[in-house]
Structure 1
Amino acid sequence: MSSSPIARTVPRTTVDAADDYLKTIYSHTEWQPDPITPNQLATRLGLAPSSVTEMVKKLHAAGLVDHRPYGPITLTPAGEQRALAMLRRHRLIETWLVRVHGYGWDEVHDEAEVLEHALSDRLLDAIDAQLGRPQRDPHGDIIPAADGSLRRPDAVRLDQAPFGFAGRVVRISDRDPDVLRVLDQLGIELDEPVWVGESPEGGAGVAILRRAGTEIVVSPAVAGSVWLEARPEV
């Protein structure tokens, strides 16, 4: 892995933490436009706000983030490049664990969090080649190319899709393993065509129609974790 500005001034363990911060900041805005706040970042990382404040100061000094007191945190071009490199590592490792080692898609996140800091660039490239240069991970998240480029589908979250919307599942958030297990039980997976049905009374969830003609109602938590790409022909 190439060195970053912060790598020359702080211990390696802090560099790993910095990479986690940058990856989390990027991921927050990957599927919605609002930048992350320090409190949101602390919650996502499971850290005390004071710890986050100190690290954000270091990242700002290293030219990796922009931040003003009490304001949101955004990545600089250098910070975004570093974040994309870490996302590439994380998502390739998740794909490798599922395809080669038989992990479930609800089991890979924590393993990848550890391994992404340990694998060499050479081994990562070998994994990428072994997998056939995949373009997305088991949850549908785009794997950035080695140069940091990526093309994200134009998708809408299931709980925000209008009645009658026709599309295919292109992304499922991996933040909640319980949601992934529910989707497994329902047999809902990437690329499945679905139609958004009429919402149940009382906002108890979202109704979806499946190709077999069956209708199911998924909970708000599940609906908020699924993204659909419009496909009128489905």
Structure 2
Amino acid sequence: MHPNRQVNVNTESVDNYLKAILALSGPEERSVSSTALAQHLGVAPASITNMLQKLASAQPSYVEYEKRRGVRLSPQGKRRALEVLRHHRLIETFLYNVLDYPIEEVHEEAERLEHFISERFEERISAKLGHPKFDPHGHCIPTIDGRMPKQASKPLTSLEQDGSFVVDSVADQDAILLKRLKAHGISPGTRIQVTKRSPQELSLLAGRPLRVLRLSRALADAVRVRSAE
């Protein structure tokens, strides 16, 4: 590989790779396997390897990559991934709060627009919205200086005991699943009481007046919660 190979970081494909690595590496910033990345992006493994080699050989490089040891974002790659993620979540918030888009539609619209807005346009959106800290799904919006606040939440399916919780965030990539959660009244900020857990479903009390909800494991896995205390 040529040491001075250039990669256009503004291309949609590169942005999507960087954002996917950021999502899969988690708060611990662990290495991401090519297999996990291929499954996340729906791309053939050979294409994954080719792109990672390009990103690693760019100047400056966007990833640290070894074929059998996975990939991590370099400082440059992490900055770009957080910048695109900030664009995405601000656009989602603008679509939802200002243009009244249904919550299940904002993710796809933001996916199309996130690569193309200028920094000036991004800042105008942020100011218009009052510099929000969370998007409509409850996810933190990266700060303008490239920091990602941490959220102390866990998947609803990982709870080891019943009790009272607050919905912290919901997964944003499956529109059908989001519609079903909305139909159940499950959204960020909803207070719930977990009353029963089984391998197939969770039983909850939620809403005003309280009503019994039964969520399948697939639905519950899309919900992150924090303690209500």
TM-score for the superposition, normalised by structure 1 = 0.88
The 3 A distance-change label for structure 1 pair 12 and 79 is closer
Q: Distance in 2 between matches of 1:78 and 1:133?
A: 25
**Whole-Å separation in 1 of the counterparts to 2:134 and 2:8:** 32
Shift of 1:98: 1.0
Q: Any gaps of 5 or more consecutive residues in structure 1? A: 1-7
1:93-148 per-residue CA deviation (whole Å, 9 max, x = no partner) reads: 11111111121111122211111111111111111111110101111110011001
Amino acid across the alignment from 1:107: E
Aligned residues: 222
SS across alignment from 2:89:
helix
After superposition, the Cα gap between the structure-2 partners of 1:174 and 1:168, relative to the gap in structure 1 and judged at 3 Å, is: same
Cα RMSD over matched residues?
A: 1.9
Unaligned runs of 5+ in 2: none
Which one of the candidate residues 17, 20, 23 is aligned to 2:13?
A: 17
* One-letter amino acid of the structure 2 residue matched with residue 17 of structure 1: S
Q: Residue 187 of structure 1 corresponds to which residue in structure 2?
A: 185
Given that 2:205 and 2:213 are in contact with CA atoms closer than 8 Å, whether structure 1 keeps it comes out as: yes
Superposition map of 1:68-79 within 5 A: 68-79=66-77
Residue type of the alignment partner of 1:115: L
Point out the structure with the larger helix share: 1
1:39-188 correspondence runs (5 A) = 39-62=35-58, 63-188=61-186
State the Cα distance separating 1:77 from its structure 2 match.
Answer: 2.0
Q: Secondary structure at the match of 1:142?
A: coil
- Sequence identity, in percent? 34
User: Distance in 1 between the 2:224 and 2:29 partners?
Assistant: 15
Q: CA deviation at 1:174?
A: 0.9
